[in-house]
Structure 1
């Protein structure tokens, strides 16, 4: 999950998106689409909140007896939300899988590593589509504006994308998801050093 070289990129867009904020270097199925599109932020928020409930319930010890039935109901709701999302995906099955890409993600935006130049210029609007977790084959769409594009030095290209304003609820869900990714990244790093 963590590539030390990925966080050492020197570019002004890197500072604009990642200085003094929590960020994660991960590889996720993702793609950038140039142009504006109809985005339903409520579906991204619902998906992220449901993923959070399911993932948080996986790490619970089950020793807290207070509110256990309400936690059960929340987990059941989250699972039903995910089933509904998956059913929606089955109906729209014509879409292709997203390519796995290295990216750096913060609450401000994303740096996406691409194989080819994107033909985007700073200021262009677009959509970043990504699969937020590996165990659920669904994606979220987030509105972005292009900050910059530059060659990586290894034949690929970095594309820096700033998130366009979203609802407070979606922003909170994104930050919570990033925190969980960051926590997982640290745990994997510790396990790697111990072995």
Structure 2
């Protein structure tokens, strides 16, 4: 998704671009920001879409229209099995230990958070979001830094998602909507 030139935005402009007229989620999540080559962006996005679809099936049991099975419970079992196999393959690689839990503000366009360390990326990289405590595999999304400013506790970063696959964009929208619904339900229970 093309956006503004990262070197022309001030923090307030980046804030408006990412969160102006869209659904925003605010939560504490472990994140890790890494620099990678742009050549791997397609693979990163395909894996992110796959992970978001599996997570959606596990959490809501919502049917996917392109699935061959019509039984929602069978689709959930298949999604859990796919996820379990992926987790087994990643057991040898533990990257979560280097992830920092931050207060994250995000929309389908990007994220903003205070990083206690300086940004490891110059212009673009991959943001690893650890969405669930029971899920050690991160959601990896290509990002481009829009702005950076000093803040209490470190540097506030504004990162725009660089998503060029419509399926990934839809899956991310669905995740944010589920997060929003979950937050509303929790707020109602607390009242």
TM-score of the superposed pair, with normalisation by structure 1: 0.79
Check whether the contact 1:47–1:81 (CA below 8 A) recurs between aligned residues.
Answer: no
Check whether the contact 1:144–1:162 (CA below 8 A) recurs between aligned residues.
Answer: yes
Distance change >3 Å, CA 151–CA 48, structure 1 → 2: same
Residues 1:30 and 2:34 are matched in the alignment: no
Q: Distance in 2 between matches of 1:120 and 1:79?
A: 34
| Mapping for residues 31-70 of structure 1, pairs under 5 Å | 31-36=32-37, 38-39=40-41, 40=43, 41-57=45-61, 70=71
Distance change >3 Å, CA 25–CA 96, structure 1 → 2: closer
Distance change >3 Å, CA 83–CA 155, structure 1 → 2: closer
Q: Which residue of 2 aligns with 1:88?
A: 89
Q: Distance in 2 between matches of 1:85 and 1:120?
A: 28
| Mapping for residues 92-111 of structure 1, pairs under 5 Å | 92-97=92-97, 98-111=99-112
CA offset at residue 189 of structure 1? 2.4
Q: Which residue of 2 aligns with 1:132?
A: 131
TM-score of the superposed pair, with normalisation by structure 2: 0.80
Q: Distance in 2 between matches of 1:13 and 1:129?
A: 20
CA offset at residue 74 of structure 1? 0.8
Gaps (5+ residues) in structure 1?
1-9, 60-67
Indicate the SS of the match to 1:54: helix
Q: Distance in 1 between matches of 2:121 and 2:135?
A: 30
Check whether the contact 1:148–1:161 (CA below 8 A) recurs between aligned residues.
Answer: yes
TM-align CA RMSD: 2.2
CA offset at residue 134 of structure 1? 2.5
Q: Distance in 2 between matches of 1:109 and 1:18?
A: 8
Check whether the contact 1:36–1:127 (CA below 8 A) recurs between aligned residues.
Answer: no
Number of aligned positions between the proteins: 171
CA offset at residue 183 of structure 1? 1.1
